[in-house]
Amino acid sequence: MKPCLFLLLLGVVWADIFPGDDYKFHHHTAEELKQVLDETHAECPDITHIYSQGKSTNGEDLWVIEITDNPGQHESGEPEFKYIGNMHGNEVVGREILLVLIPYLCKMYKSGDPEIKHLIDETRIHIMPSMNPDGYKKGYEKVIVEGNKDDWLTGRRNANNVDLNRNFPDLNRYLKAYKRTDFSRIHGKNHHISAAIKDIGHELEAETKAVIEWLQEYSFVLSANLHGGDLVANYPFDSSYNDKTEYQASPDDEVFRDLASAYSEAHLKMSDPNRKLCDGDLGPVFEDGITNGAAWYPLRGGMQDYNYLHTNCFEITLELGCTKFPEASDLKGYWEDNKPALIKYIQMSHIGIKGRVTDLYGDGIEHAVIDVDGITHYITTATDGDYWRLLSANEDGSPRHYTVTASAPNYYSEKKICTVYADTEATSCDFTLERNNELPMKGVSDEEMEALKRELENFI
């Protein structure tokens, strides 16, 4: 048998049997969570890197594992992706399925599975299984140790009794206050900073600060925040401008609907119109398994809105099931339901357009602005001038043409038509800007970035 065919067949076998009948699904302690990361790194040292993104209120590490072909470095042209689990400590399904996804990706890559190998080679994946280890510990003691399986609240909040998904700066209120349809985002070298962040009206928790710093350090393109309590993919905006429960569309509403649908349709149950509702006949019915956050129930200070308004990152919130802290014996079913969707959603970081913004000498221009006509939300380039702009093709699957402008301080802007296709990865659309030192353009200077960076560092 040819080696490549053997590896392909081996990948199919792994896909069918992993994690295997001998794998014992259970609720992991903090020590066991770290052990999963360590064992995965030991098995796949060339494609993994483990780091702590900070500490919880009680001093627990917020562990992250990076999975990519060149861990520890940003590769030009390669999007950065993240999964965050267990933001609410008593919502544990996300935590547990991520702890299966991590070794799954390792083993599938080693087996030569072409889909997973391409995904890892072309994407820098970061996975934080637990953002709220202190809350999880409380919930674990109540549900597992004490056996109180009907407790739906213990552990939701962090050690300071703060709901972390209400603790982020509420940047939506600036949109409302200034009656604008976009938000002035200022992005710097490894820092995505807004002067408005220092006027938030409440204290940031340790876990919230850690994630904010994470967003500044990495040029994330796409993210999902894994929750529990219902079965739906929730997309921005969560915050309601008029405090009413009604649809609040972001400038990228179409893209967010496509992202949410990608997960719900790949999930084995989420988009099923005949599935049993979590709250019986009184529960909300989510068409196609997706919902706008504010149309379901509005909230302020949420993480997904903060990602979108403060950085280049598009984030949705995934509610993974009716039961927040299910029996360990049910975890295998949750993994099987979510496995194809978890992979599909990472692949969505490759939709739209990508490219580099360079000067006439081919040097990348950092902080350049990528502006799409008709969408009042721009993104900026990373260190090497590379960018990724998530965009949708036409609803019928036909290509869509976008008018895109690249600009930077002291450069003439350049405008191009960039085409997005439904069934291919992001289309390359590069820009070359000619310098003009007398022409102020939309963008951010290095001096402004350093000043704003100092402001945020002093605030945090």
Q: How many CA atoms lie within 13 A of 318 on its CB side?
A: 32
For residue 51, count CB atoms less than 10 angstroms from its CB and return exposed for 0-12, middle for 13-18, buried for 19 or more.
Answer: middle
CB of 133 within 8 A of CB of 60? yes
Residue 145 to residue 135: CA distance in whole angstroms: 15
DSSP-assigned letters across all residues of 66-99: EESSSTTSPPTT--EEEEEE-SSTT--HHHHHHH
Distances in whole angstroms, Cα of residue 261 to Cα of each of 255, 266, 345, 346, 452: 10, 8, 10, 13, 37
CB of 238 within 8 A of CB of 294? yes
Residue 163 to residue 7: CA distance in whole angstroms: 46
User: How many helices and strands, by DSSP H and E, does the chain display?
Assistant: 12, 18
User: From the CB of residue 277, how many other CB atoms can be counted at a distance below 10 Å?
Assistant: 14
Q: Encode burial over 287-298: b for 16+ CB neighbours within 10 A, e otherwise.
A: ebbbbbbbbbeb
SS (H, E, C) 385-453: CEEEECCCCCCCCCCEEEEEEEECCCECCEEEEEEECCCCCCEECCEEECECCCCCCCCCCHHHHHHHH
Among 60, 80, 315, 319, which one carries the catalytic annotation?
Answer: 319
**Is 66 labeled as catalytic in the residue annotation?**
no
CB of 218 within 8 A of CB of 84? no
CA torsion, ordered 217, 212, 404, 355, to nearest 10 deg = 20
Residues 6+ apart with CB under 8 A from 424: none
The residues carrying an active-site annotation are 319
